[in-house]
């Protein structure tokens, strides 16, 4: 059911390290034309570390692991690309539609394709003030064996609530060279991480030990803090305005996250975009290094 790009097919047959990359960040997370530029740069970063990038998406009803240039262009520019979570996959394929995949859907497909490492920006999680708005990223990561590198969860979320859910779902969180849980646009969310790792080799060792202990049903989150964060006060002001606009505009369901990210990019005059790009690049680099260590 899965189609591979030439590059990913070659890497698979030779057993070389592969890094999965999501596509919702391209279609719904970053503005045009920066989205396509970043998508290409991120793939190049993965290659520069000795791994093969596999951007995942659905094109005309077919699941692709690794996109050719024209397909990447479509994900970045076609207005009809929808945002697909795991539950949407079968219907999108049945209708021969095209879709970008979220962290949840990308993890699911990457695991099916035998890929162990995945890089994204920030995970989805529990939304502020909405008891039942919790990203399907969490429930998918609770049942999918993959190492996901991220800059924590998006700061638009209820970070404390999300960390509690991660604990309940038995999804381990490793701080990469940090004891502080990163806050996506911010280096530190204000919450601590119990388990700190210093190297990719340490992550690879943990990955192996989990199997013997039969605690390997879930994903492992590797939290990699951004180096040059947004100004905290500026960030908090923008967030407050964005949350009240979302409430006033009755934004719901899968629209909430893209709405808030777009609000940030528009009102921060490029500052949140700069940070978001730095996050994705740094996470892709680290993910490639982990894939090589495995």
DSSP letters spanning 32-77: TTHHHHHHHHHHHHHHHTT-EEEEEEEETTEEEES--HHHHHHHHH
Angstrom distance (rounded) from CA 114 to CA 204: 16
Supply φ then ψ for residue 72, to 5 degrees. -65, -40
Quick one: what does residue 28 bind among Mn ion, ligand PSU, none, with the CB cut-off 5 to 8 Å set by partner type? ligand PSU
Q: Binding segment for Mn ion among 131-139, 149-157, 167-175, 225-233 (CB under 5 A)? A: 131-139
Indicate which single residue of 7, 62, 133, 278 sits in contact with Mn ion (rule: CB under 5 A). Answer: 133
Of 12, 22, 83, 140, which residue is the catalytic one?
22
Q: How far is the CB of 264 from ligand PSU (least distance, A)?
A: 10
Q: Is 6 a catalytic residue?
A: no
Angle at alpha carbon of residue 287, lines to 168 and 127, rounded to 5°: 40
Q: How far is CA 120 from the centre of its chain?
A: 3
Of 83, 154, 254, 285, which residue is the catalytic one?
154
Interacting residues toward ligand PSU by CB under 6 A: 22, 24-25, 28-29, 102-104, 120-122, 124, 135-137, 254, 257, 261, 276
Cα 202 to Cα 174, 212, 222, 290: the distances in Å are 10, 16, 11, 9
Q: Closest CB to ligand PSU among 133 and 202?
A: 133
Quick one: what does residue 66 bind among ligand PSU, Mn ion, none, with the CB cut-off 5 to 8 Å set by partner type? none
Q: Is 232 a catalytic residue?
A: no
C-beta atoms surrounding 190 within 10 Å: 10
Q: How far is the CB of 125 from ligand PSU (least distance, A)?
A: 7
Residue ranges binding Mn ion (CB under 5 A): 133
> Which residues form the catalytic set?
22, 154
């Amino acid at each position: 059911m899965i189609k591979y790009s030439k590059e990913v097919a070659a890497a698979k047959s030779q057993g070389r390290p592969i890094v999965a990359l999501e596509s919702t960040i391209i279609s719904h997370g970053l503005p045009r034309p920066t989205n396509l530029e970043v998508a290409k740069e991120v793939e190049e970063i993965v290659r520069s570390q000795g791994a093969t990038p596999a951007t995942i998406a659905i094109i005309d009803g077919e699941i692709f692991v690794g996109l050719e240039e024209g397909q990447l262009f479509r994900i970045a520019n076609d207005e009809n690309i929808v945002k697909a979570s795991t539950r949407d996959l079968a219907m999108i394929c049945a209708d021969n539609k095209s879709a970008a995949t979220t962290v949840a859907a990308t993890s699911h497909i990457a695991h099916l394709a035998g890929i162990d490492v995945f890089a994204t920006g920030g995970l989805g999680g529990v939304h502020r003030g909405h008891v039942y708005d919790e990203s399907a990223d969490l429930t998918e990561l609770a049942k999918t064996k993959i190492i996901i590198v991220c800059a924590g969860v998006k700061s638009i979320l209820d970070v404390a609530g999300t960390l509690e859910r991660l604990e309940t779902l038995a999804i381990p969180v490793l701080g990469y060279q940090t004891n502080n849980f990163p806050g996506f646009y911010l280096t530190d969310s204000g919450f601590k991480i119990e388990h700190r790792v210093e190297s990719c080799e340490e992550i690879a060792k943990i990955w192996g030990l989990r199997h013997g202990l039969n605690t390997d049903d879930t994903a492992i989150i590797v939290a990699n803090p951004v180096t040059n964060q947004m100004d905290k006060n500026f960030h908090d002001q923008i967030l407050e305005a964005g949350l009240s606009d979302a409430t006033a505009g009755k934004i719901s369901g899968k629209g909430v996250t893209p709405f808030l990210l777009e609000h940030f990019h528009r009102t921060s005059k490029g500052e949140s975009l700069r940070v978001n790009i730095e996050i994705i690049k740094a996470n892709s680099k680290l993910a490639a290094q982990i894939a090589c260590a495995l």
